[in-house]
Amino acid sequence: MGHQLQKLQREVKPLWAPETQTNSWGSVDAMQKAVEHIRKIGLKPKRIAAEFGFLPYDASQVLRPPFPIRHWSKHFSVLDGHASKNQRKDLHW
C-alpha cells in the first residue's frame, strides 16, 4: 500500500512485491486496504510482525480487530530476508 504520489515511482521502477496499490492518502485508509487485501486472498494469519516504530497508532487500531491474534511480534527479520533476496542487486550489496 502506498500514497497516491508514489504512482510515478511504481511506473518508473516497480517494487519486488507481486501486488502494489498506490491509492491511499493516509495511514488509516492504507491499512483498511491492506486488511481488505488479506481477506481477499484468504489469509488467516497466526502471527503478525510489524516495525512498530513506523506503524502509526491509528493504523494499528484498524489492523488489530479483524485479526484477534495473541502474538504480535516486533521482529521483522522475515521481511528483511525476503527483501534482501529480491533487492540485493538494487541495494548494491
* pLDDT at residue number 40: 92
Containing 47, the helix (H) or strand (E) segment is: none
pTM of the model: 0.66
Residue 12 has pLDDT above 70, yes or no: yes
* pLDDT at residue number 91: 45
* pLDDT at residue number 78: 55
> In the numeric block, which cell numbers belong to residue 48?
503478525
Residue 81 has pLDDT above 70, yes or no: no
Return the closest-CA partner of residue 73 out of 46, 45, 48: 48
Amino acid at 17: A
Count of beta carbons in the 10 Å neighbourhood of residue 38: 16
The tens digit of pLDDT for each residue in 56-74 reads 999 989 988 888 776 677 6
Return the closest-CA partner of residue 45 out of 61, 59, 64, 30: 64
Task: Quote the mean pLDDT of the chain.
Answer: 77
The tens digit of pLDDT for each residue in 28-39 reads 999 999 999 989
